[in-house]
Amino acid sequence: MHRTGELYGQFETLEQQKDTATLGMWVFLVTEVLFFGGMFMTYTINRHAYSAAFGVGGNTLDLKLGGGNTVVLIMSSLTMAMAVWSAQVGKKQLITLFLILTLLLGGVFLGVKAIEYKQKYDHHLIPGQSFDITFCSNHPAPCGISAEDAAKEKTEIAEAFEKDPNLNSHAQLYFSLYFGMTGLHALHMIIGAGLLLWLIKEAVAKRFGPGYNTPVDITGLYWHFVDIVWIYLFPLLYLIDRHN
């Protein structure tokens, strides 16, 4: 049986039914806020305790890729909002178009994230035995940076080592949190992409319109929430120590 918005017995009106679904989604998002909140708390405490190492770690991230991804994700939020609007006003073909655009932008985000992870692997920045925060400043060629930038990075790292003799361990803490938080965020994006695929299938079958668009609406809430998580991750991970 396909659900196309018939009224269930426990509700008085379709509007009440939709409000209930929306409220349920928000309650789920509250648990997500506290779930991600715990990770942000952990990050903040460690950043406070090991600010030199976290500054050096943050400056190794690629601002162009991270900033570009921020733009891509906010754009996908816009297309998602437009998909919900298309459903509300009954433009059935636009729903499919905007959902596909949202999925594509989400895919671009995840692709860029994969490139960044690969870069961190090449630069010996995965926590573990081969982790070496000084790798790129000592081997500019495989990292693809100029000798000039490498020299600059070397001074920056030397200064940080003076403040914190255990810089290499504490930088691993930064990267553990970086991979943990961005990984969890990416997992949410993958789940969101799965939901979008299902929505696209339903939208192609013309199941959504002004009378019934609850799935588009509450998947939209989820997608925007994931966007908000990134809105906080971007400055905290990428921008924190750029002024040095």
Partner 1 sequence: MSEHIASPKLYIGIFLALMICTAATVWAAYINLGQYNIVIALAIATLKATLVVLFFMHAKYSPGRTQLVIFCAVFWLGIMLALTLSDYTTRHELTQQQAQPAALVARRVAP
Report the interface residues with partner 1, using CB under 8 A: 15, 18-19, 22-23, 26-27, 29-30, 33-34, 37-38, 40-41, 44-45, 48-49, 63, 67, 70-71, 74-75, 77-78, 80-82, 85, 88-89, 220-221, 224-225, 227-228, 231-232, 234-236, 239-240, 242-244
For residues 74 and 97, which CB has a smaller minimum distance to partner 1 in the complex?
74
In terms of CB distance, is 38 or 142 closer to partner 1?
38
CB closer to partner 1 out of 132 and 180 = 180
Q: Which of 18, 1, 12 is nearest to 210 (CA)?
A: 18
- In the complex, the smallest distance separating the C-beta of residue 15 from partner 1, rounded to whole angstroms, is 7
CA torsion 179-184-235-114 (nearest 10°) is: 60
Judged by beta carbon, residue 215 or residue 220, the one nearer partner 1 is 220
Tokens of 206: 């013309």
Check residue 167 and give left, alpha or beta (phi > 0: left; psi -120 to 50: alpha).
alpha
**CB 94, min distance to partner 1, A:** 10
| Nearest-approach distance from CB 184 to partner 1, in angstroms | 16
Q: Which of 23, 151 has the CB closer to partner 1?
A: 23
